[in-house]
């Protein structure tokens, strides 16, 4: 069987978008299926039979069409096994029948992923679930026969966990994240499709491990900000340091635009809606942060240079090493049921998210109230913010010294600089 796609040139809608259909060729027969996808002629590469990279919904459309392709291929395979020969009418009829309890687990998961954009999930979330679907397909492929939803019982679940750890080599938190995405799929199959489950999603529990947060001290941050670097690394460093000054996540830095910068009481603030939580935050821009924005003012659409997260993370490790961020950090890992501890140079652990941790810890050490830090970080629950208070060892020592030895003043904000680089917009009475 070969599967291709074509954009119908006839009957475009009022905006010029025409339907994309799937063409399945098998046994000298041909089946054409409407995919539900639409695009403009400028977004379709007729030669390759696929969307151009300029198509705004490329990621979501790819997930949906891949799920449809899987349904067609599995439907054809099942009919051929049962009947020997397959007609286009038989295949079309099989594809229009609602999913049955005997449908393959992987096929159902693909259909769930295909529905996610319509349910309002972000493209990054859809990609994460598509990755889980691919892993499930790999796991099922190593088992005998087709694994149906009815076969996915507690024994199969435990086998999956063992495969994730032993074959894929996932750590406990990665396994927990995997299960976190399987559970809503099972609930969807039960609630939306009315299918019976062999296991209760609520009973699929895994243990999350506390992971030591990596952050830069004031001296390390100053060293990174002042390091002499090649031009290519300088752009990454500037974006990273800006996040250290503002607490932004990579996803928010990526989408930052001029409309986010607004005037406030003679200064400037960032007002934006966080991509991850959809929470509105307001961050005061200190002089060092404004200087970085001014450096790239008018040179690009985005306020600061941003590359793929993985690319920036690789560059940051080199930047931190060149800046002398080489102190040893203990890394604790679990392997074969044993706890392993080893020292690692801190530069190996620096990522874009380290900037957010740095902002949080440095803000606390400069005396920022936890309640204010919660607002600027956009945490819905202050318990999340209090995690940073637990990891700021200097903050604990400073407080204990003040309480027991009666010291105050400068020691309360050790690590602060004359120009306070981490701040938020003061509350208006």
Do residues 161 and 115 make contact, with C-beta atoms less than 8 angstroms apart? no
List C-alpha distances in Å: 153 to 97, 143, 158, 201.
25, 14, 9, 10
CA–CA–CA angle 108, 109, 111 (5° rounding): 65
Strand partners, 335: 338
Cα angle value 295/300/301 (rounded, 5°): 125
The answer to which of 5-19, 267-281, 311-325, 401-415 has the lowest mean pLDDT is 401-415
Q: Are residues 135 and 35 in the same domain?
A: no
Q: 253: which 2 tokens? A: 């830095």
Tell whether 290 and 402 lie within a shared domain: yes
**107 domain-assigned:** yes
Same domain, 44 and 105: no
Q: Same domain, yes or no, for 27 and 93? A: yes
Identify which has the larger pLDDT, 102 or 133: 133
C-alpha 243/C-alpha 293 separation (Å) is 12
131-151: buried (b, 16+ CB within 10 Å) or exposed (e) per residue? ebbebbbebbeeeeebbbbeb
Which CA distances in Å does 46 have to 6, 50, 51, 280, 420?
Answer: 7, 7, 9, 42, 56
| Whether pLDDT at 426 is above 60 | no
74 inside domain: yes
Residue predicted with more confidence, 206 or 414: 206
Are 77 and 111 in a shared domain?
no
User: The domain spanning residue 399 has which CATH number?
Assistant: 1.10.443.10
Report yes or no: 26 and 77 within 8 Å, Cβ to Cβ: no
Say what the pLDDT of residue 421 is.
44
Q: How far apart are CA 355 and CA 312, in angstroms?
A: 12
Q: How confident is the model at residue 321 (pLDDT cuts 50, 70, 90)?
A: very high
For the ranges 63-77, 215-229, 262-276, 351-365, which has the lowest average pLDDT?
Answer: 63-77
Let me know if residue 88 belongs to a domain: yes
Distances (CA, A) of 133 to 151, 177, 194: 17, 13, 21
> Do residues 298 and 382 share a domain?
yes
223: Cβ–Cβ under 8 A, 6 or more apart, which residues?
A: 323, 324, 325
pLDDT, tens digit, for every residue of 199-230?
889 888 877 766 667 889 999 999 999 999 98
C-alpha 306/C-alpha 31 separation (Å) is: 44
Domain-embedded: residue 316? no
Domain boundary among 182, 209, 236: 209
- With tokens 């999956």, the residue in question is 160
- Give, to the nearest 10 degrees, the angle between helix 352-365 and helix 370-377: 160
Q: What is the domain extent for residue 65?
A: 1-97
* Together in a domain, 47 and 107: no
User: Are the C-beta atoms of 401 and 407 separated by less than 8 Å?
Assistant: yes
pLDDT confidence tier of residue 409, bands split at 50, 70 and 90? very low
Once rounded to an integer, what is the mean pLDDT over residues 42-49?
92
Residues 185 and 231 in one domain: no
Domain presence at residue 339: no
Residue 429 lies in a domain: no
With a cut of 60, say whether residue 117 has pLDDT above it: yes
User: Cα(first)–Cα(last) distance of the chain, in Å?
Assistant: 69
Q: Total structural domains in the chain?
A: 3
* 338-345 and 328-335 beta bridge pairing: antiparallel
Same structural domain, 16 and 91: yes
To which residue do tokens 């449809």 refer?
68
Nearest to 352 by CA among 234, 208, 223, 247: 247
Both 234 and 306 in one domain: the answer is yes
Which of 174, 209, 244 delimits the end of a domain?
Answer: 209
Residue 211 pLDDT: 61
pLDDT of residue 77: 87
What does the pLDDT read at residue 63? 78
Residues 1, 45, single domain; the answer is: yes
User: Is 98 a residue whose pLDDT tops 60?
Assistant: no
**pLDDT at residue 420 greater than cutoff 50:** no
- Position 61 confidence tier, pLDDT thresholds 50, 70, 90: confident
Q: Which residues make Cβ contacts (< 8 Å) with residue 126, sequence separation at least 6?
A: 59, 60, 63, 113, 116, 117
Q: How far is CA 140 from the centre of its chain?
A: 25
Flag the least confident range among 92-101, 169-178, 293-302: 92-101
**Which of the residue ranges 199-213, 270-284, 295-309, 380-394 has the most confident prediction, judged by mean pLDDT?**
270-284
In a domain, 347, yes or no: no
Whether residue 48 lies inside any domain: the answer is yes
For residues 402 and 286, membership in a common domain is answered with yes
Instruction: Compute the C-alpha angle 54/57/61, nearest 5°.
Output: 115
Angle at 137 between CA 136 and CA 138, to 5 degrees: 90
CATH code of residue 111: 1.10.150.130
pLDDT at 101 over 50: no
Least confident of 217-221, 333-337, 383-387: 333-337
Q: How buried is 35 (Cβ within 10 angstroms: 0-12 exposed, 13-18 middle, 19+ buried)?
A: middle
């Amino acid at each position: 069987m070969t599967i291709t796609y074509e954009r119908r040139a006839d009957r475009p809608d009022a905006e010029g978008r025409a339907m994309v259909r799937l063409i399945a060729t098998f046994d000298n027969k041909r089946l054409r299926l409407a995919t539900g996808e639409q695009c403009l002629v400028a977004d379709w590469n007729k030669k390759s039979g696929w969307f151009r990279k300029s198509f705004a919904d490329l990621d979501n459309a790819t997930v949906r069409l891949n799920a449809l392709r899987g349904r067609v291929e599995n439907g054809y395979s099942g009919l051929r096994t049962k009947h020997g020969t397959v007609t286009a009418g038989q295949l079309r009829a099989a594809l229009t029948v609602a999913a049955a309890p005997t449908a393959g687990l992987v096929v159902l998961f693909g259909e769930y992923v295909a529905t996610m954009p319509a349910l309002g999930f972000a493209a990054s979330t859809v990609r994460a679930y598509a990755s889980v679907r691919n892993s499930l397909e790999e796991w099922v492929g190593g088992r005998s026969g087709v694994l149906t939803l009815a076969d996915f019982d507690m024994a199969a679940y435990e086998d999956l966990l063992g495969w994730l750890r032993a074959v894929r080599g996932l750590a406990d938190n990665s396994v927990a994240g995997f299960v976190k995405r399987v559970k809503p799929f099972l609930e969807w199959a039960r609630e939306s499709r009315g299918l019976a489950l062999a296991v209760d999603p609520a009973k699929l529990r895994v243990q999350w491990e506390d992971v030591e947060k990596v952050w830069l001290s004031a001296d390390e941050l100053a060293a990174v900000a002042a390091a002499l670097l090649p031009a290519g690394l300088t752009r990454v460093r500037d974006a990273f340091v800006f996040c250290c000054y503002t607490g932004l996540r990579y996803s928010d830095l990526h989408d930052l635009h001029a409309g986010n910068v607004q005037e406030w009481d003679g200064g400037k603030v960032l007002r934006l809606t966080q991509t991850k939580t959809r929470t509105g935050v307001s961050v005061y821009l200190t002089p060092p942060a404004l200087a970085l924005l001014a450096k790239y003012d008018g040179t690009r659409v985005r306020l600061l240079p941003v590359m793929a997260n993985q690319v920036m993370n690789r560059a940051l490790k080199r930047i931190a090493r060149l800046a002398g961020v080489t102190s040893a950090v203990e890394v604790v890992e679990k392997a074969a049921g044993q706890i392993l501890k080893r020292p690692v140079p801190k530069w190996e652990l620096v990522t874009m998210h380290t900037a957010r941790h740095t902002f949080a810890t440095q803000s606390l050490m400069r005396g920022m109230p936890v309640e204010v830090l919660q607002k600027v970080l956009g945490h819905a629950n202050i318990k999340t913010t209090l995690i940073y208070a637990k990891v700021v060892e200097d903050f604990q020592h400073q407080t204990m010294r003040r309480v027991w030895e009666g010291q105050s003043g400068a020691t309360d904000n050790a690590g602060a600089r004359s120009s306070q680089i981490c701040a938020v917009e003061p509350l208006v009475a």
